[in-house]
Chain A
Amino acid sequence: MSTITRKLVPLILLLAFPAILRAQELKLPPGVEKLASKAKETVEVNMDGPMLHWASKFLSAEDPEERKAAKLVANLKGIYVRSYEFSDEGAYTAADVAAVRAQFRSPEWSRVVGVRSERDGDNVDIFFKLENEKMAGIVIISAEAKELTFVNIVGPLEVEQLADLGGEFGIPKLKTKPQSSKPMAKADKGEQK
């Protein structure tokens, strides 16, 4: 290896490191990526910071929905979505989902919601990433009978904005009971790592 190459390799690695780190926010196992071939419908969205800001420039300020979306993504660093819809049940295994879920068993991630429904087989996990007691990211893993979805939103996200996210975009806001925050914690209790 020549001297120039030896000097260049660490430099390239140093430059590529932030990109590698960013890409590792949500790493899907190869088994999950292969599910795309089995899926009836696949949604794959990869939007990093610059892409997000560029896309948000095209959001109309006159459209209330788009105005809220622009406000929501203003400070975000990335949105990554994988959603697979299958025609039959059992297209993926529990191990596939468990492998993804295991990535968020680190101290910086808190699992705030973990729902296991034996009745309809819908499992939803929501992880929050906290940095200096502020939300720095969210991961949603939704494993339904015929649908598997991974959502990773990177960046500071206010809880109010998060609540807006749930009620906007044509999806009606749920009428939650005043004590709704408590059951969420209860539901999580059993699943807490």
Chain B
Amino acid sequence: MTETNKNPNLLEDALRKALRPEEAPEGFALKVLARAQQQNSAAQEAQRTSWLSMFSQPFVRWAALAAVSICLVIGGVHYRNLQRQRAEGEAAKQQLMLALRIAGSKLQLAKEKVNEINTSRPEPQPQNRSPRSRS
């Protein structure tokens, strides 16, 4: 039988001593925070270096450069095509408007001429019949 078994008060004292609240040492919280930050930035750095490490190979570097150049060229050509299409469309619109203007003006000319003929022609005289002749 041990000493504590013999005396329950001793066990209780030992437990109280072991579980008593203790003040954290000076600067403990700061140290924890600094450690956490350090670990975080280390993980980020590792991730960044792994992504960038892809470009350390010359083939990947050249492929990326080529891809960017192709994208720029395609974009440029597409933009130029759009500009050209717009210019052609505007020209076609102008042609259409011109054609409609000419058609409209010639219709007006025809109308004008018909009206001229109409106004220059003497109005037909209404026949004056006497009431006697009507009967």
Contact = CB atoms under 8 A, between A and B. Distances in A.
Interface of A: 43, 45, 47, 51-52, 54-59, 65-66, 69, 72-73, 79, 81, 83, 113, 115, 117, 122, 124, 126, 138, 140, 142, 144, 149, 151, 153, 162, 165-171, 174, 176-177, 180, 183-184, 186-187
A122 B113 contact: yes
Contacts of B106: 124, 140, 142, 149, 151
Measured as residues with beta carbon below 8 angstroms from the partner, the interface class of chain B is: 20 to 34
A165 B118 contact: no
B118 A66 contact: no
A45 B33 CA distance: 80
B70 interface: no
A126 B101 CA distance: 16
A66 B110 contact: no
B114 A43 contact: no
A174 B97 contact: no
Contacts of A115: 110, 113-114, 117
A124 B113 CA distance: 8
Interface stretch (B57-65, B76-84, B88-96): B88-96
B109 interface: yes
Contact of A47 (B99, B105, B113, B115): B99
A69 B107 contact: no
Nearest to A166: B107
A122 B97 CA distance: 24
Contacts of B99: 45, 47, 79, 81, 151
A66 B92 CA distance: 13
A193 B116 CA distance: 23
